[in-house]
Every structure is written in C-alpha cells, then in structure tokens.
C-alpha cells in the first residue's frame, strides 16, 4: 500500500505556482522568489500543523513577509532601490506557443507597470484565487480598499494592454 502524501505536499501542489508568482512581485529573480516561498511556506507549516482552507490567507501573508524581508536584504546588498519595479518580469507565466509567450510578455510588462498595491490585489485575486475578503485578510486591509485597488488595476490594464490581449482566446 502506498504511503499517503504528507499534508504539506497537498498544499504545496495546490498553491506553489501562485505563491511563487506572488513572491515575484518583490523578487523578480526566480531563485530569490523560491527562497522566499520556502521560508514562508515552512514558517506557515510550523505554525499550523493542520491548516484548514480558511488559513490560506495566512500562507500568502507568510510568503509576503518572507519576500519583503529578502527583498530588503537584497536591496541593502545591491543598493538598487527600485529593483523590483525596474526589472522587466520574465517568465511569470507559462506559454506553450510563441504567440502565447509574446502575449505573456506583454501582460507581464503591463502588470509590472502597475503600482505595487494594485499589483498585489490583482495577483492575489486572479491568480491567487482568493476572495476579496481573503485578499483583505492577507494584506490586513479593508475589503473596500482592496476591491477599489483591484478595479483601478483592471482599468489601468485595459489602457496598457492592446485590444487584442483583452479578447484573445
């Protein structure tokens, strides 16, 4: 009989990609983002040995804190204050075909151009799969503030993205 997977592995499988994307909002380098994700995930798992679905915002918060800490230490070391904002994101999303990869590149640049607060709201809502209430809990913000940031981000993205990106299938 096969040994059942530890619980953390199920959580990892379900959330790893979205957590990595979230960490990359501060740490564009994939290796750095993975380090932050590891630190956040381990800390979360040690604090909640039997987490429930309602604990998901805490997992995002743990990864966010780890990413912010790591980004701060990286900035101190490199002295590049606006590194996250200035660096064009690479490979945040998968693209199987050349056309898809081009579209991903355009979307990534548009999202990178958003203010961080709006970017966080949109990443957590769309790719994190969180409700507005959960996004608010993750960020320790008011739910109306979070919803306003999300709508502002979409409005800005509609301006930044070419029409083809809106309607592409």
Partner 1 sequence: MTPSDAPFDDHADQSAQANQAADERLSAQLAGLRPVEPGPGLRSRIAAELSLPGADSFETLARRRRVAVGERLAWAAGGAVAASLVFLLGGVVPSGREQAPVAAVTAVDSVPAAAARPSQVRDEALSWSDEGIRFVDEFTPARVLRRKVIERHVAGDGTAEVRVPREDVIFLPVALR
Smallest distance, Å, CB 94 to partner 1? Answer: 5
Segment contacting partner 1 (CB under 8 A): 75-83, 112-120, 137-145, 150-158? 150-158
154 binds partner 1 (CB under 8 A): yes
Segment contacting partner 1 (CB under 8 A): 64-72, 75-83, 137-145, 147-155? 147-155
Least Cα distance to 130 among 23, 65, 54 occurs for 54
For residues 74 and 164, give the distance between their C-alpha atoms in angstroms, rounded to a whole number: 37
User: Exactly one of 10, 144, 158, 162 binds partner 1 (CB under 8 A); which one?
Assistant: 158
For residues 35 and 41, give the distance between their C-alpha atoms in angstroms, rounded to a whole number: 10
For residues 29 and 25, give the distance between their C-alpha atoms in angstroms, rounded to a whole number: 10
Site string for partner 1, 96-135 (x = CB under 8 A): --------x--x--------------x--xxx--------
> Binders of partner 1: how many residues, by CB under 8 A?
39
For residues 24 and 18, give the distance between their C-alpha atoms in angstroms, rounded to a whole number: 10
For residues 13 and 152, give the distance between their C-alpha atoms in angstroms, rounded to a whole number: 31
For residues 90 and 29, give the distance between their C-alpha atoms in angstroms, rounded to a whole number: 8
What backbone phi and psi angles, to 5 degrees, belong to 19? -70, -40
Structural tokens at position 41: 């995930």
Segment contacting partner 1 (CB under 8 A): 16-24, 70-78, 113-121, 137-145? 16-24
User: Exactly one of 10, 14, 47, 73 binds partner 1 (CB under 8 A); which one?
Assistant: 47
152 binds partner 1 (CB under 8 A): no
Counting every residue written for the chain, the total comes to: 169
Contacts to partner 1 by CB under 8 A? 8-9, 12, 16-18, 20-21, 30, 34, 37-38, 41-42, 45-49, 91-94, 104, 107, 122, 125-127, 151, 154-155, 157-158, 161, 165-168
């Amino acid at each position: 009989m096969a040994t059942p997977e530890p619980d953390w592995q199920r959580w990892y499988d379900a959330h790893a990609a979205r957590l990595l994307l979230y960490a990359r909002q501060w740490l564009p380098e994939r290796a750095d983002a993975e380090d932050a994700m590891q630190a956040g995930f381990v800390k979360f798992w040690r604090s909640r040995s039997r987490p429930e679905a309602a604990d998901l915002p805490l997992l995002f918060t743990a990864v966010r804190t780890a990413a912010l800490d790591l980004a701060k230490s990286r900035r101190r070391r490199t002295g590049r204050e606006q590194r996250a904002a200035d660096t064009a994101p690479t490979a945040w999303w998968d693209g199987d075909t050349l056309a898809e990869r081009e579209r991903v590149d355009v979307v990534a640049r548009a999202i990178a151009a958003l203010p961080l607060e709006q970017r966080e709201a949109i990443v957590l809502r769309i790719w994190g799969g969180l409700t507005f209430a959960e996004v608010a809990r993750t960020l320790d913000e008011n739910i109306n503030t979070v919803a306003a940031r999300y709508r502002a981000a979409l409005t800005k993205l509609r301006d930044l993205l070419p029409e083809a990106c809106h309607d592409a299938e």
